[in-house]
Chains A and B, each alone.
Chain A
Amino acid sequence: MASNDAHNLVEPGINLNAPTCPNREQRAHGINVWYGQASQLLVEAREGKLQARDRDFQQTSGCALNFYLAVRLNTIRDAAVIYHAPVGCSASSLGYRELYRHVPVSLGRPENYDLHWITTNIQENDVVYGAGNKLRYAIREAERRYSPKAIFILTSCTSGVIGEDIEGAVNELQPYISAKIVPVHCEGVRSRLVQTGYDAFWHGVLKYLVKKPEKKQTDLINVASMLSYTWQDRLEIKRILGKVGLRPNFVPEFAAVDQFEQLSEAAVTAPLCPTYTDYLSKGLEQEYGVPYFLYPSPMGIRNTDEWLRKIGEFTGKESEVEKVIEEEHKIWQPKIDAIREQFLRLKGNGEKLTVLGSLGQGRLLAQLPFFEEIGLSSPAAMSQDFDNLILDEVEHLIGTVGDFKILINTFQAAEQAHVTRDLDPDIALTCPFQGCSFKREKGLTRIHSLRADAHPRSTQSGYTGAVACASFLLQSWTSKSFQKTMLAKTADSYKDWWYQQPNPLHYLKREV
């Protein structure tokens, strides 16, 4: 059977001579619409049949720039970000000064840091006459004002459609600018898939920022950590790696520029989210021989064990890792068992509580085994997107937890509301970008905290995270008053017929 590496399924190699990455659609047959059994999805994917399809009804859900990059690249500590865009494309960046500020210095947050971004504020006359000089001015202004170590240029639909020559401006100005200028091609119109934005960013990082290794740092583990992993997740990962004498190099959020430069010196690149880390991991291996693995993520006890074992293999610390796993199990397994006991008793008839969760491909792979571990069952999973990068892992997952239904969609709130209503899980997890699907009779809580959250309750990674997340879910079951009240007292977004017909993909365009 064809594996993930089959060339007809995933484009091989990364071409850093190109100005940007290929789109996920091209690179790995990425899709964002599908509903059915995971086993069937796998068959279609292996046959190379995954294909982007249109919907006649669609809801706003994010683009390469405005899902992730615009919200979080501004946290790179000694860098500046320039949005070459109309003013609205960077509005989601307005929280930049506050992000991470609530993390206590005592928990390892640097006391003094300053974040910066600038918009070129493309206006109507720029659309006619070009905005290249404004971009040049913005680069110089960023250098003068902030003396950053790196300047990221994020492009937009408008800069793309009017044909702005980003590389031209970069090449012209770089000799005069101390900061390394890193163009990131994240025009919203370039791709249907928000993950193209991740790849586009890592392409810029690999091409412009990562330096040739001066020395190998055999204890350094690259960990690409995105906004859905909290400060406490970082502390937990740091703790367990520290126990075997290893150090994490967390990029990109809230990292310093030299942490990117050193990515090439690490012993291994380990995932939190494989779909997020994929391009970086493969690029670092191809260019600098840094090995990587993409599965599993350290979510749940067994996943964390395996994650650590993989790192142990790459760093020659197999026996130390086994010792840590044993120690940690002694502490945490009884706590997980106790929560599992409670979950199993809740229904009173021996049945397991059902939970509907997931978000991206990473959580899809990590959550289902974790839910099983804590005594929950998942009739289905939802994933923002799906591509051929994780086929072997999905096969492994089906082998572990059995077949399940899967809805692939990027925040399509009507489809998610339909599936949530139809499957009626005991606990629904929300992002909360799912419109009205939070209004229901049964359990509801968040998938993750989505912030630089420093509270132990929000941990999800590693051993302490498994326990925190499990008790968080247990706690969610204790009160349903908010979602029930909202269901009873407020209007739904959709007309009744939507829920009365059977197909969440009612508006999938039939012709290809």
Chain B
Amino acid sequence: MAAKIDEIPEDVIYPEVMEAPRYSCALAGAYSTAVGIYGAVPILHSGLGCGIGQLFGQFYAGGQNAGGPQGGTSTPCSGLVEEHVIFGGEDKLRRLIKSSIELMQGDLYAVLSGCVPSLTGDDVESVVKEFREQVPIINVKTAGFLGNSYEGYELFFEAVIDQLLKELPIKKGLVNVFGVVPYQHIWWKGNLRAIKEDLRKLGLEANIIFTEFSGLENLIKIPAAELNIVLSPWNGLRVAKKLQERFNTPFITLPGVPVGPKQTTRLIREVSQALYLPAEPVEELIAREERHSYRFEEYFGDVMILAFPQPYFSVVADSGTAVGITQFLTNEVGYLPDKVIIADGMPEENREMILRELSENLECIIKPDVIFEQDSHLIRENLKRGHSLVLLASSLEWPIASESGAIIHITVSFPSFNRLILDQNYAGYRGGLRLMEDIVSKYCGPL
């Protein structure tokens, strides 16, 4: 049949209409954030499929992780259907919150409202208010159409700041870490643990909020921090700015979670400067950590140089992961950056930092093409025009890696259906070692 499609007059182009963007919706991001806080019980005020859709599309996709005792099919949900569209879902929600408090083990209840109550105009706040005296509870408006998973993270913390936090005296040495979005940043658990550990060596107590049984306590102590550290060029930035306005907490921003010694040293120096820590012990710490990490890097020297020196590589990832991996491989291991595709939909106004990090801050004559693209079809077309042997991307690229000539594919970003990620990570001084273990293991063999 002759294609007659060209006979339709072309009108507006909608770039947000795309194949398989690598994130879910605002509800999913807020839901992930809630599930990342141990002891928080998410209560979905939504259709019945919203939670299970995110179990598949956010939790399983985020490194094959289950939802835990409060996530997945354990999550209370109001299950809105047509009658609630017509008559409202407030009563249903009221009964659900009451029963959830009775039944579910939890310290904090987070009501997350999806598309339907937002469209029908349910007065969720007035329902939530009835329970505020009884338990810690927050109301987060997270209609899916408000944005993506990253937006959901910001919306969750904005609700926490507005509804839960109170001014506290500053606690010396306490710093909060923001910008790591549970499940969406697939290394979230291990990354946060590694960063906490590196900051502990500096004498600091890092409040990583997630993955600790003191979840509610961790939220409540956010205002007591001396400094907020944002480990992303854009995620958590709104949270840090809001905390600065409300509690005067200063913040610093890094382009991503640091991978390997050079980036981790930069984090340590920036944090130390922001907190006016005495230089000498900081430099001693840096020297000690670097010496040890690089001594370990010597171990992969032979196999890497013999088998696979200076390969071109490409990255498809969220902005922070892309910067961390690209800088480590380029600046410390001699890999040559071909394409860096930033697929998280970061806003235009934050892109300058990324472009600088991926040009000026790369110690290599070859600079990568930096492409901001979220459409998986266009990402694929773009990769076909490249010439990388190593492709560090998501599990979406696993079946198509060979199209672009890549012989090694490693999942480093969302979605990660082909990789179970529990505690592993590429963060901190020793994170680069683990990245090299993963890459080199794909091609090493006997002499």
Interface residues of A (CB under 8 A from B): 54, 56-67, 70-71, 86-98, 101, 116-124, 126-127, 133-134, 137-138, 140-141, 143-145, 156-158, 161-162, 173, 175-178, 188-192, 194, 410-414, 432-436, 490-495, 498, 507, 509
Is the Cβ of A161 less than 8 Å from the Cβ of B120?
A: yes
Do A58 and B27 contact each other (CB < 8 Å), given the known contacts A93-B20, A157-B47?
A: no
Is the Cβ of A433 less than 8 Å from the Cβ of B73?
A: yes
CB distance from B192 to the nearest CB of A (A): 20
Of B101-109, B169-177, B247-255, B292-300, the stretch lying at the interface with chain A is B101-109
- Number of A-B contacts defined by CB within 8 Å: 274
Do A161 and B72 contact each other (CB < 8 Å), given the known contacts A87-B148, A88-B25, A94-B417?
A: no
Please, which residue of chain A has its CB at the minimum distance from the CB of B42?
A: A60
Name the residue in A88, A122, A143 with the highest tally of chain B Cβ atoms < 10 Å from its Cβ. Answer: A88
Give every chain A residue within 8 A of B54 (Cβ-Cβ): 88, 91-92
Is the Cβ of A91 less than 8 Å from the Cβ of B98?
A: no
Give every chain A residue within 8 A of B57 (Cβ-Cβ): 70, 88, 90-94
CB distance from B56 to the nearest CB of A (A): 4
Is the Cβ of B44 less than 8 Å from the Cβ of A137?
A: no
Is the Cβ of B144 less than 8 Å from the Cβ of A190?
A: no
Please, which residue of chain A has its CB at the minimum distance from the CB of B4?
A: A176
Give every chain A residue within 8 A of B149 (Cβ-Cβ): 88
CB distance from B16 to the nearest CB of A (A): 4
Is the Cβ of B13 less than 8 Å from the Cβ of A137?
A: yes
**Bound CA–CA A71/B399 (angstroms):** 18
Q: Is B145 an interface residue (CB 8 A)?
A: yes
Give every chain B residue within 8 A of A498 (Cβ-Cβ): 103
Is the Cβ of B13 less than 8 Å from the Cβ of A192?
A: no
Give 1 or 0 for each of B164-188: 1 = CB within 8 Å of chain A CB.
Answer: 0000000000000000000000000
CB distance from B227 to the nearest CB of A (A): 33
Is the Cβ of B77 less than 8 Å from the Cβ of A59?
A: yes
Known: A137-B12, A161-B116. 15 other contacts (CB 8 A): A59-B74, A60-B75, A62-B52, A87-B21, A88-B25, A89-B144, A91-B61, A92-B52, A98-B417, A124-B145, A138-B14, A156-B115, A158-B115, A158-B116, A188-B47
Please, which residue of chain A has its CB at the minimum distance from the CB of B146?
A: A124
9 tightest Cβ-Cβ pairs between the two chains A and B: A60-B51, A91-B57, A88-B25, A63-B49, A66-B49, A66-B53, A188-B47, A91-B24, A57-B99
Give every chain A residue within 8 A of B80 (Cβ-Cβ): 157, 189
Some 7 contacts from A to B, beta carbons below 8 A apart, are A87-B148, A89-B49, A92-B53, A98-B395, A133-B11, A158-B115, A436-B69
**Bound CA–CA A158/B396 (angstroms):** 27
Residue from A57, A87, A92, A94 in contact with B144 in the complex, judged by beta carbons closer than 8 Å: A87
Give 1 or 0 for each of B127-143: 1 = CB within 8 Å of chain A CB.
Answer: 00000000000000001
CB distance from B320 to the nearest CB of A (A): 20
**Bound CA–CA A57/B74 (angstroms):** 11
Is the Cβ of A56 less than 8 Å from the Cβ of B77?
A: no
Give every chain B residue within 8 A of A192 (Cβ-Cβ): 48, 79, 81
Is the Cβ of B17 less than 8 Å from the Cβ of A61?
A: no
Is the Cβ of B69 less than 8 Å from the Cβ of A490?
A: yes
**Bound CA–CA A62/B415 (angstroms):** 21
Residue from A126, A157, A162, A435 in contact with B73 in the complex, judged by beta carbons closer than 8 Å: A435
Give every chain A residue within 8 A of B144 (Cβ-Cβ): 86-89, 158
Is the Cβ of B77 less than 8 Å from the Cβ of A60?
A: yes
Is the Cβ of B74 less than 8 Å from the Cβ of A436?
A: yes
Q: Is B302 an interface residue (CB 8 A)?
A: no
Please, which residue of chain A has its CB at the minimum distance from the CB of B26?
A: A88
Please, which residue of chain B has its CB at the minimum distance from the CB of A413?
A: B73
Give every chain B residue within 8 A of A97 (Cβ-Cβ): 395-396, 398-400
**Bound CA–CA A59/B77 (angstroms):** 5
Give every chain B residue within 8 A of A93 (Cβ-Cβ): 20, 57
Do A95 and B16 contact each other (CB < 8 Å), given the known contacts A158-B144, A189-B116?
A: no
Q: Is B7 an interface residue (CB 8 A)?
A: yes
Do A494 and B105 contact each other (CB < 8 Å), given the known contacts A60-B73, A191-B81?
A: yes
Give every chain B residue within 8 A of A435 (Cβ-Cβ): 69, 72-74
Is the Cβ of A190 less than 8 Å from the Cβ of B82?
A: yes
Q: Is B58 an interface residue (CB 8 A)?
A: yes
Do A96 and B5 contact each other (CB < 8 Å), given the known contacts A60-B48, A91-B54?
A: no
Is the Cβ of A60 less than 8 Å from the Cβ of B5?
A: no
Is the Cβ of A157 less than 8 Å from the Cβ of B116?
A: yes
**Bound CA–CA A57/B44 (angstroms):** 12
Give every chain A residue within 8 A of B17 (Cβ-Cβ): 118-121, 134, 137-138, 141
**Bound CA–CA A156/B49 (angstroms):** 10
Give every chain B residue within 8 A of A162 (Cβ-Cβ): 119
Residue from A86, A101, A117, A119 in contact with B115 in the complex, judged by beta carbons closer than 8 Å: A86
Is the Cβ of B25 less than 8 Å from the Cβ of A173?
A: no
Give every chain B residue within 8 A of A123 (Cβ-Cβ): 16, 145-147
Is the Cβ of A56 less than 8 Å from the Cβ of B95?
A: yes
